[in-house]
C-alpha cells in the first residue's frame, strides 16, 4: 500500500504542476486573444463556431476517455492481462478515430443549417463567418479526440508525464496563432491555431504510447467483447456528460440574444473561474480515477469510500475560499489579465459581473467531476445519466428566466445552480451505493472552511479596495492588488485552519511534498 500511496502522491504532484502550467498558458492565451480582439463581434462569431466542434468532441470522445475506457482497461490490468488491455486499447482508438471523422464530415455538410439555428440573433454576414470557422474547427475534435484517447490509455497504465505536456502544446499553438497571425488574418488564424494545437496534442504523446507496447493496426474489433463493453458504457456516459455540454450550448444560444460582446465576456469569466478548478480539483479527480477503477475491480469499497470523502473534503477546503476570493477580486483580476488593447474598461465590467456568478458554482463543479468518476469507476453509468437529465431540465428553465433578469450574469448563475444541484443529487445517490460517505467529517470541513473565509473576505476586500480604490483601470495597480490580496488572504485562511487543527492542511502539504503517509 505504501508504494501505491507514493504513486498517487507523485502523480498528484506532477499533474497539479502540469495543470497549473496549462491553466497559466490558458490564461495567457485568453490574454493575447483579448489584447487582439477585446469583446468585438468577430470574436463572438469565433466563440459560437467553436461550440459545435467542442460539443462533438465532448459527446463522442470525452465520455469514453474519462469514463468508460479507463475502467475497462484498468480492470484487465488489475487482473494481470496487459496484452488483452493493449488489444482493446488499439481497437477502441481506431473505432473512435473513425467515428469522429465521420461525425465531423456530416457536420461539415450541414454547417449552414445548424449555424442559422444556434446563432439566430446574428446577421447573415456573421453566419457566413461562423460557417467558415466551424468547418475549419471540425478538424480539431478528430486530432484532439485521438489525443484524448491516448490520454485514456496512458492513464490506465498510470503514465502521466507525456499527457501532462499535451495541453501545454495545445495552448502554445493557439497563443502563437493569436499573437503572430491573428492581427493580420483575424479569427481565421485562431481557428487554424486550434487545429495545429490539436495535432501537437496527440503527437507529443505518441512516444509514451509506443512504450506501453501499443502498435498501430487497422482492426476495429466490432465483435470484441471488450470493445463492446466500452461501447455499452460509453453511450449512457456520453448522454450524462451531455448535461455540462448542453449547459454551455444553451448559454451560447441565449447569449446571442444579448448585445455583442456578452458571449465573449461570459467565456473570459469562465476561463478565470476554471483556474482553481483546473489547477487543483480536476487534477485531483483525474489522478484518483484509475486507482478508484482498480479498487472497484477488486471490490475494495472501503477504500473507495475513504478516498472519495477525502477528495470531497480537500475540494471544500480549497474551493470555498477560492470562490469567495474570485467574487471579491473579479474586477482587479480581470483588469490585470485582460485590460489592454481592444479589451476596454466596459469589457472588464461585463466579465467581472459574470465571474461573480460563476464563482458560486465552483464547489459544485468540483464535486460533480469527482462523484461522476466514482460512479464510472464502479461501472454504474445509469445513475449519473438519470441525474443529468434532471439537471438539464433545471438548467434550461433557470437560464431562460435568469438571462432576462441578469443578462450574462444570469447564464453564469444558472450554470452554478445546475452544478450545485448535480453534486447534491450525486452525493445522495453515492451514499447509498457505498454505505455512507463519512458525512460527519465532511460537515466538519465545511464548518472550518466557513469560519476561515469570513476574516479572509474582510482582508481581501480591504487590501483590494485600498490599492485600486475600486478602479476598472488595468496596468500594475490591479495586478499588485490581486497578488497582495491573494497572499494575505491565503495566509489568513491557513492560519485560521491551523488554529482549528484542520487535517486538510496537512494532507495538501503532504501531496506537495509527495509524502505518502497522508495520502
Structure confidence by residue, pLDDT tens digits, 448-457: 999 999 999 9
pLDDT of residue 517: 41
pLDDT of residue 86: 85
- C-alpha 196: how far from its chain's center? 21
Residue 224's SS3 state is coil
CA distance 153 to 85: 9
Residue span of the structural domain in which 110 resides: 2-518
pLDDT of residue 351: 93
User: How many domains would you assign to the chain?
Assistant: 1
pLDDT exceeds 90 at position 6: no
Question: Any idea of the CA torsion for 349, 352, 356, 362, to the nearest 10 degrees?
Answer: 160
Consecutive H or E run containing 247: helix 225-255
State the CB neighbour count (10 A cutoff) for residue 503.
Answer: 18
pTM (2 decimals)?
Answer: 0.75
CA distance 328 to 324: 6
State the CB neighbour count (10 A cutoff) for residue 1.
Answer: 7
CA distance 506 to 262: 42
Highest mean pLDDT among 2-6, 46-50, 255-259, 437-441: 437-441
pLDDT tens, 393-452? 898 899 999 999 998 899 999 989 999 999 999 999 999 889 888 889 999 999 999 999
Sign of CA dihedral 255, 256, 261, 267: positive
Cβ neighbours for 307, distance < 8 A, ≥ 6 positions apart: 288, 291, 292, 295
Mean predicted lDDT score pLDDT of the chain: 84
Q: Which three cell numbers stand for residue 418?
A: 445546475
pLDDT of residue 518: 44
Amino acid at each position: 500500500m505504501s508504494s501505491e500511496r507514493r504513486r498517487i502522491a507523485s502523480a498528484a504532484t506532477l499533474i497539479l504542476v502540469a495543470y497549473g502550467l496549462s491553466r497559466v498558458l490558458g490564461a495567457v492565451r485568453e490574454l493575447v486573444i483579448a489584447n487582439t480582439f477585446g469583446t468585438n463581434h468577430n470574436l463572438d462569431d469565433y466563440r459560437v463556431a467553436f461550440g459545435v466542434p467542442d460539443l462533438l468532441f465532448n459527446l463522442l470522445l470525452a465520455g469514453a476517455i474519462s469514463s468508460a475506457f479507463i475502467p475497462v482497461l484498468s480492470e484487465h490490468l488489475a487482473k494481470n492481462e496487459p496484452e488483452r488491455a493493449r488489444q482493446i486499447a488499439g481497437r477502441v482508438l481506431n473505432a473512435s478515430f473513425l467515428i469522429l471523422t465521420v461525425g465531423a464530415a456530416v457536420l461539415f455538410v450541414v454547417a449552414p443549417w445548424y449555424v442559422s439555428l444556434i446563432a439566430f440573433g446574428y446577421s447573415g454576414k456573421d453566419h457566413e463567418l461562423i460557417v467558415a470557422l466551424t468547418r475549419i474547427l471540425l478538424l480539431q475534435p478528430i486530432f484532439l479526440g485521438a489525443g484524448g484517447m491516448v490520454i485514456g490509455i496512458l492513464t490506465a497504465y498510470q503514465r502521466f508525464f507525456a499527457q501532462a505536456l499535451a495541453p501545454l502544446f495545445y495552448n502554445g499553438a493557439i497563443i502563437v496563432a493569436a499573437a503572430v497571425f491573428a492581427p493580420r488574418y483575424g479569427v481565421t488564424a485562431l481557428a487554424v491555431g486550434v487545429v495545429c494545437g490539436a495535432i501537437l496534442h496527440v503527437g507529443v504523446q505518441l512516444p509514451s504510447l509506443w512504450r506501453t507496447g501499443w502498435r498501430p493496426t487497422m482492426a476495429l474489433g466490432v465483435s470484441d467483447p471488450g470493445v463492446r463493453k466500452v461501447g455499452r458504457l460509453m453511450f449512457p456516459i456520453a448522454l450524462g456528460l451531455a448535461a455540462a455540454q448542453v449547459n454551455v450550448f444553451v448559454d451560447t444560444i441565449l447569449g446571442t440574444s444579448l448585445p455583442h460582446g456578452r458571449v465573449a465576456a461570459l467565456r473570459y469569466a469562465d476561463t478565470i473561474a476554471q483556474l482553481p478548478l483546473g489547477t487543483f480539483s480536476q487534477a485531483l479527480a483525474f489522478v484518483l480515477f484509475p486507482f478508484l477503477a482498480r479498487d472497484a475491480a477488486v471490490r475494495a469499497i472501503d477504500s473507495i469510500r475513504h478516498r472519495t470523502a477525502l477528495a470531497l473534503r480537500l475540494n471544500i477546503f480549497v474551493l470555498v475560499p477560492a470562490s469567495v476570493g474570485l467574487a471579491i477580486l473579479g474586477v482587479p483580476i480581470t483588469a490585470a489579465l485582460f485590460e489592454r488593447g481592444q479589451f476596454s474598461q466596459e469589457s472588464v465590467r461585463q466579465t467581472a459581473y459574470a465571474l461573480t456568478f460563476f464563482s458560486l458554482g465552483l464547489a459544485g463543479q468540483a464535486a460533480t467531476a469527482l462523484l461522476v468518476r466514482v460512479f464510472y469507476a464502479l461501472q454504474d453509468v445509469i445513475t449519473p445519466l438519470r441525474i443529468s437529465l434532471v439537471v438539464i431540465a433545471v438548467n434550461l428553465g433557470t437560464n431562460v428566466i435568469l438571462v432576462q433578469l441578469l443578462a450574462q450574469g444570469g447564464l453564469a448563475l444558472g450554470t452554478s445552480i445546475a452544478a450545485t444541484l448535480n453534486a447534491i443529487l450525486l452525493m445522495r445517490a453515492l451514499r447509498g451505493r457505498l454505505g455512507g460517505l463519512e458525512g460527519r467529517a465532511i460537515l466538519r470541513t465545511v464548518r472550518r472552511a466557513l469560519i476561515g473565509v469570513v476574516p479572509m473576505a474582510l482582508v481581501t476586500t480591504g487590501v483590494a479596495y485600498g490599492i485600486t480604490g475600486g478602479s476598472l483601470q488595468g496596468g500594475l495597480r490591479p495586478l499588485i492588488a490581486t497578488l497582495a490580496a491573494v497572499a494575505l488572504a491565503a495566509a489568513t485562511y491557513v492560519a485560521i485552519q491551523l488554529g482549528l487543527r484542520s487535517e486538510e492542511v496537512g494532507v495538501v502539504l503532504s501531496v506537495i511534498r509527495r509524502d505518502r503517509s497522508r495520502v
